[in-house]
Structure formats: C-alpha cells, structure tokens
Amino acid sequence: MSEAAVAHHTSTGLDSRKMAFWTFIGSECLLFGSLISTYLVYQGRSVSGPTTDILNIPLTSISTFVLLMSSLAMVLALAAVTRGDALWSRVWLATTALLGSGFLGFQAYEFTHFVHEGLTLQTSLFGSTFFVLTGFHGGHVFVGVLWLLTLLVRSFQRKLGPDKSLQVELAGLYWHFVDVVWIVIFTVVYLLRQ
C-alpha cells in the first residue's frame, strides 16, 4: 500500500483503507451469515451418518480459547508496533500467528477424527454443512496467519515502524473479525447443538 495515501485528505477523516476494510468485513458478515443460516436450516435433517454427538465440546473449547488468546496477542502486537517497539512487535506477531496455527492444528485434528468416525463432506447434510462452514472459517484463519507472517517478515526487514501501524491495524481488524465469527460458529454449532 502506498505511503502517500495515508497523508491524503479524506472527506470523513477516516483512512480510506480502513473504511474499505470495514466494508469488506460487512460483506463477509453476509457470507458467513448465509453459511450459518444454511447450517441452521439443515440442522437435524440428515438421514444418515454420525450426528452432532461426535462434536467434542471440551476439545473445541480449548481451541476456542487459543483463538481468543491470539486476539489478545494481536492487540499487544499493534500496541508494540504503534510505540515503535520492534522486539515486542515481533514477539506478539509471532505469538498471534502461532496461536492461529494452533487453532488450525486443532481443526485439522478434529476433521481427521471425524473422517475416521465416518463423517465426511459427502456423508450427510450435517457433514456437508459442518465441514463447509468450519472449513471456510479455517480458510480465513489460514489467510490471516499468512498475513501475520508477512508482517513479521516486514518487521525483521525493519519496514514496520510506527508509521506503518495502519498495516498492523488492518490485519488486526481482520483477525478480530475472524475471531468473532468463530465465537458465533462455536455457539451455534457446538454449544446449541441439537
């Protein structure tokens, strides 16, 4: 992104990139909204295969906690970048990425386990809606991790000073959004299961 754009005067005073990002997040809400609605509409309509009983709530609670902690690390990373603290920026960016990867690890384990239990994409409505919904979310986390790693590399290249805090802020917005979406999915799919 260009540096000059930051200095640009805007009608609202809000940086255009930030506004664009909020708009994007609005659009993403509709995306996840449609996925979650479909999951709800099809809940309990599967005619074969494992049911929601195979969901492991304690395990997923841990992975949810891991993802929540990553949001905290993200906040600390942004604070560190803003005050120009290179060391702690790296620490917290790396921590965020690591916790994100940890979440993905839990998900990979969960998916593999389910496949062994006989629940695949093709098995039933539950299989299709569950894997596509959580898989879409996992894909978003994966993109987020890539983004964080990019920022980490930039930091090591000494190209992530306080003047670039917006870059971290945008990544943070995305990361928190993905986190919030997970809270909704966790509630709908796991806690309110039927």
Partner 1 sequence: MATAALTVDAPGFGSRVWSWITTTDHKRIGILYGVTAFVFFLLGGLEALVIRAQLAQSSADLVSADFYNQLFTMHGTTMVFLAIMPLSAAFFNYIVPLQIGARDVAFPRLNAFSYWVFLLGGLLMNASFFFGAAPNGGWFGYANLTSTQYSPGLNIDFWVLGLQILGVASIAAGINFLVTIINLRAPGMRMMRLPVFTWMTLVTQFIVVTAFPVITVALVFLMFDRTFGTTFYSVAAGGDVLLWQHLFWLFGHPEVYILILPAMGMVSEVIPTFSRKPLFGYAVIVYSGLLIAILGWGVWAHHMFAVGMGPVADAVFSSTTMLIAIPTGVKIFNWLATMWGGKLSLKTPMLFSLGFIAMFVVGGLSGVMHSSAAADLQQTDSYFVVAHIHYVLYGGAIQGIFSGIYYWWPKMTGWMLNERLGKTHFWLSFIGLNLAFFPMHFIGLLGMPRRIYTYDAVLGVDAMNFMSTVGAFIIGLSTIVFVVNVWYSRRERIEAGMDPWGAATLEWSIPSPPPNYNFTAIPEVVSRLPQWSDTEMKAIPTEPEGEIHMPGGSYWPAVSAVGILVLAVGALLESLAFALGGAVVLVVGIYAWAFEPFEM
Task: Give whichever of 154 and 176 is closer to partner 1, judged by the CB atom.
Answer: 154
Binding mask 133-172 for partner 1 (x = CB under 8 A): -----------------x----------------------
Selected range binding partner 1 among 42-50, 72-80, 109-117, 178-186, rule: CB under 8 A:
42-50
Residue 39 · residue 191 · CB < 8 Å: no
Task: Give whichever of 121 and 183 is closer to partner 1, judged by the CB atom.
Answer: 121
Verify binding: residue 180, partner 1, rule CB under 8 A.
Answer: no
Task: Give whichever of 72 and 149 is closer to partner 1, judged by the CB atom.
Answer: 149
Cα–Cα distance, 140 to 104 (Å, whole number): 10
Binding mask 121-140 for partner 1 (x = CB under 8 A): xxxxx-xxx-xx--------
Residues 6+ apart with CB under 8 A from 8: 16
Task: Give whichever of 8 and 158 is closer to partner 1, judged by the CB atom.
Answer: 8
Q: How many residues does the chain have?
A: 194
Verify binding: residue 4, partner 1, rule CB under 8 A.
Answer: yes
Write out the DSSP string of 98-161: HHHHHHHHHHHHHHHHHHHHT--TTT-HHHHHHHHHHHHHHHHHHHHHHHHHHHHHHHHTT---
Cα–Cα distance, 113 to 37 (Å, whole number): 25
Q: What is the CA radius of gyration of the chain?
A: 19
Binding site for partner 1 (CB under 8 A): 1-2, 4-5, 8, 10-12, 14, 16, 19-20, 23-24, 26-28, 30-31, 33-35, 38, 41-42, 45-48, 121-125, 127-129, 131-132, 150
